[in-house]
Amino acid sequence: MSNTVAEVHIYDSTEVRCQENTRGGVKYEVILGDTEAKAPPKISTSPRNSVSVQEIEEKLKAAEERRQQLELNKMAALSAKMQKIEEASRKKDEQTNQFIAATRDALEQKMGTVTEKREAYITDLKTKLKDHIENVEKTRLSLEQQTDEVRSAIEEKLKIASIQRDENMKKMLVRLKEHEDQAKKIRTTNTVKLQELGNQIQDKLIQARNRKEQIEQEQLEKLKKNNSRPSEKQKSVESTIENRKSEVINLIENKLCIAEQIREKEIQKKLELAKKHNEHLNEVKQSLENKKSEKVQKLENKLSAAEQKREEEIKKKLENIKKQEKRAEIVRQNKAAVLAAKGELTATDQQLNCS
């Protein structure tokens, strides 16, 4: 698209020049001409009016009257404002007095309720403390009673155990005596038997001697008849008799030794049983004493723990009572300060009202 330049004359004084045509529109220049000077319009002057002295005096009088009227209006407005201020101050005083009276009544009621609540709380605490102390005393007495009962029961058991031990010892001694009596009887019977055996042996020896003599006589007679050797046969017979005699004596002594050993073993066993029984009784006694001491220690620990708890609770409650008394004292002081401040406010209000 070619650029074109054109000139267009609209008026004599202005000129518009179109330089080029573009896609967005037409680009041109406008040249303004010289301005034409216009003459100012003429102002019409009004003629002066002539004013007389009388008119001036009347105007001054009217201005004076207006000034006086304005002053009167100002004074009336000021008096109305003062009345409003006095009314507002009076209402304010009444409201402050009502507020002071209401707050005083409310504070007195609150203080009365606070004192009543405090006294009720203190009385309740005192009753609770009294009940708690009574309960603690009851528990202490019950624990002491239980300890006494346990002690009495343990003492009774120990007495019964000692009585049983004494009875068992007596029974053991009786048994030992019976055993010794039996042993003595056995010894006597054994001695009797030994004597009887000795007598029997002697009888047998006598019989054997008699028999030997008879045999010797018979043999002598035979020897006399047969002319044999009697001395050798006599020696052999005597040796056999002596051997049999020694064998019988050894058997009797062996039997007596065995019986004595058996008796000593039985006595030793019974003595060991008696010792074991005594040791068992001592162990039972020691265990009962240990149990008694443990129970007594446990009861004493429980009593001490209960006493400590009771003392701690009493201390806590006393501390709470002291704190409440301090709070009540602070409330009293605050009440006195509030009442003093109210008195000062009333005095200042009265002074203001008087002034």
Structure-block tokens of residue 46: 């009004």
For the record, the structure tokens of 61 come out as 């009088």
CB-CB contact of 242 with 122 (8 Å)? no
Amino acid at 166: D
Q: How many residues does the chain have?
A: 355
Q: Where are the domains of the chain?
A: 1-31, 83-354
Long-range residue pairs from 307-312, CB within 8 A, at least 24 positions apart, any chain? 307/136, 307/140, 310/132, 310/133, 310/136
Cβ 136 vs Cβ 306: under 8 Å: yes
pLDDT at 65: 92
DSSP letter string, 159-196: HHHHHHHHHHHHHHHHHHHHHHHHHHHHHHHHHHHHHH
Determine the pLDDT at residue 4: 42
Q: Alpha-carbon dihedral of residues 40, 46, 47, 48, nearest 10 degrees?
A: -110
Residue 149 is predicted with a pLDDT of 84
- Phi-psi map region of 187: left, alpha, beta (phi>0 left; psi -120 to 50 alpha): alpha
Pair 118, 324: CB distance under 8 Å = yes
| CB proximity list for 94: less than 8 A, separation 6 or greater | none
**What is the model's pLDDT at position 99?**
86
Q: CA 215 to CA 236: how far, in whole Å?
A: 12
Listed as own residue / partner, the contacts of 126-130 with beta carbons closer than 8 Å and 24 or more positions apart are 128/317, 129/314, 129/317
Which amino acid does the sequence have at 190? N
Neighbouring residues of 104: CB distance < 8 A, sequence distance ≥ 6: 339, 342
Tens of pLDDT along the chain (355 residues) come to 444 444 444 444 566 666 677 777 777 677 766 655 555 555 555 444 556 888 898 989 999 999 999 999 999 999 888 888 888 888 888 888 888 888 888 888 888 888 888 888 888 888 888 888 888 888 878 888 887 888 788 788 888 887 887 888 788 788 778 877 877 787 787 778 777 777 777 777 777 777 767 777 776 777 666 654 545 556 676 677 777 777 877 887 787 788 788 878 888 887 888 788 778 878 887 888 888 788 888 888 888 888 888 888 888 888 888 888 888 888 888 878 887 777 777 777 677 666 5
**Are 228 and 216 spatial neighbours (Cβ–Cβ below 8 Å)?**
no
Contact between residue 14 and residue 33 where contact means Cβ atoms under 8 Å apart: yes
What pLDDT score does 148 carry? 83
Rounded to whole angstroms, the Cα distance separating 117 from 326 reads 15
